[in-house]
Amino acid sequence: MDTITYFKKRFEELQAHPVDGHIKSMRDSAFAEFSQTGIPTVKHEEWKYTRINDFFSKDYHFSTDIKEQQLTAQDLAPFQIPGHEDANLVVFVNGHFNRELSHTRSEELEILSLQEAAGHEKYAPIVKEHLGHSADYHRDGVNALNTAFIQEGVFVHVFRSKEASHPIYLYNVTDARRGNIFAQPRCLIHVAENAKVQIVETYITLGADESFTNQVIEVAVEQDAIFDLYKIQNDAPNSKLVSTTHVHQTGKSIANVVTVSLNGGLIRNNLNMVMSAEYCEANLFGLYLGDQHSHMDNHTVVDNRKPNCLSNELYKGVLNGNATGVFNGKIFVRQDAQKTNAYQSNRNILLSDNASVNTKPQLEIFADDVKCSHGCTVGRLDEEALFYMRSRGISEKAATALLLHGFAQDILEKIQHVTTREFVEQLVADKLHL
C-alpha cells in the first residue's frame, strides 16, 4: 500500500470521531494538500539534504484511537527532567494528549485539549486566528499531514499580566515496545499580553522498534509578553523526528528558543520566528552534537515584518563519525521593516574525515535602512589550543572534550531556567566524556 493510500484509510477512520467545525475544515484542506504533494523528496529544495520519504515505506503503526495508550507513570519515571515534581506537565503518548500523566500546577495558566479550546467561548477566537499558520512557511506534505490528523492536541493559555509560577515540561513519548510507531503531536500556545512562561520540551522513545514523530507547535506571543522555549533532543538511535515550531509575535514582545540536539537517528527542526509588530526581539540559539550515523538538520526562518525589530541567531555544531549536519537559515526583511537589526551565524567543527555539514545562511532584504549580517564557518578543532593543553599534561581526549565544551558553552548559557541549564550541561558533558 502506498503512503497516500495508507493515510487516506487512516483519515477515513478519523472522520468517525466528532470534532469542532473549524478544525474539521482545516483537516480536510490539509489532507487534500497532502494527497496532492505527498512526502517531500530530495528534489524538494527545502529537503535537499534530508531524506525522509524512505522512512514512510516502512511498516509504522499509526493510531487514531487514544484508547490504545498503555503508558504508566512508572514507564515515564526514568526519563523525567529534574524539577519534574514542581512543573506543569504536558505529556503526549504516540502523538495523543495523555490527561492522566499531565498536570497543571500553576494557576496563571490553563491547559486544555485543542478540541475543548475550539469549543470554548473565550478561546475559540484564539484557536481560529492562530492554529495552522505554520503552513504559510512550510508548504509540504509533512506539515500538511500533521494538520490533517489534528485530534487530541493541546492548547496552553497563559493569562494576561501573569508569570507562570512553574515551567511547563512537555514530554513527547513514543511507545515503540510493541512495533514501529508514527506519532503526530500538535500544540497551540497563547501567551497573553504582559504574560511570561518557560517551556522545557523533550522526546522519549520506549522500546527497540522504530519511532517517527512529526510534531507541530504554534505559539502566539502578545504585547509585552516573554516566551522561552528550551528543546532537549536526546532520544534513542531508533528515533526519527521532524519538529516544526512556529512563533508569531503579534505585539512588542520577546521570544527565546534554545534547541539542543544530542542524540537521535534523524532530527529535522523547522523554527519560524515571525515578528508582526514593532520593537520585537527574537533570539534563536542551537547546539547539535552528532556522531555515528546521526543526521541533524536545522532550518530557521526569521521574518521581519515591522520596523525596529532585533533578532540574534547563533547555531553551533560538532560532528564526528559518519554524522551529517544541515543548517539553512533565512532572514526576511520586508519593505516596511525599516531599522531592522538581524544577525545570524553558524559555526561547525568536524572531528572526523567522514563527518559532513551543509550550511546555507540567507538574507532577503527589501528595506534600505537596516543592519544585517550572516556567516558560517566549517573547520577542525584548534590545533594550537589542543597542543597547548597537551603540553600542560592534559590527555588528548580530555583536552578535546574541554575545548568542545568551551565551544558549546555560549549556547548553553542562554538557557535561563537554572535547573534545565544544569541538566543540559551534564548531558553535554556526558556526550563529550568529560
Average pLDDT (173-186) is: 94
pLDDT digits (tens, 9 = 90+) for 190-199: 999 999 999 9
Q: How confident is the model at residue 22 (pLDDT cuts 50, 70, 90)?
A: confident
DSSP sequence for 84-130: GGGSEEEEEETTEE-TTT-B---TTEEEEEHHHHHT-TTTHHHHHHH
CA gap 3, 193 in Å, rounded: 43
- pLDDT for position 4: 86
How many other C-beta atoms can be found within 10 angstroms of the C-beta atom of residue 179?
A: 12
pLDDT digits (tens, 9 = 90+) for 113-161: 999 999 999 999 999 999 999 999 988 899 999 999 998 899 999 999 9
Q: How confident is the model at residue 10 (pLDDT cuts 50, 70, 90)?
A: confident
The three cell numbers locating residue 378: 566549517
Q: How many residues does the chain have?
A: 434
Task: Give the strand pairing for 211-221 and 239-249.
Answer: parallel
Cα atoms in the 13 Å half-sphere on the side-chain side of 359: 20
The order of strands in the sheet holding 310-319 is 96-97, 88-93, 168-175, 196-206, 226-234, 254-263, 281-290, 310-319, 341-350, 371-379
Using the predicted structure, report yes or no on whether residue 68 has a pLDDT greater than 90. no
Average pLDDT, the chain: 94
CA gap 282, 197 in Å, rounded: 15
DSSP helix/strand/coil, 410: helix
CA gap 202, 231 in Å, rounded: 6
pLDDT digits (tens, 9 = 90+) for 266-314: 999 999 999 999 999 999 999 999 999 999 999 999 999 999 999 999 9
Average pLDDT (228-236) is: 97
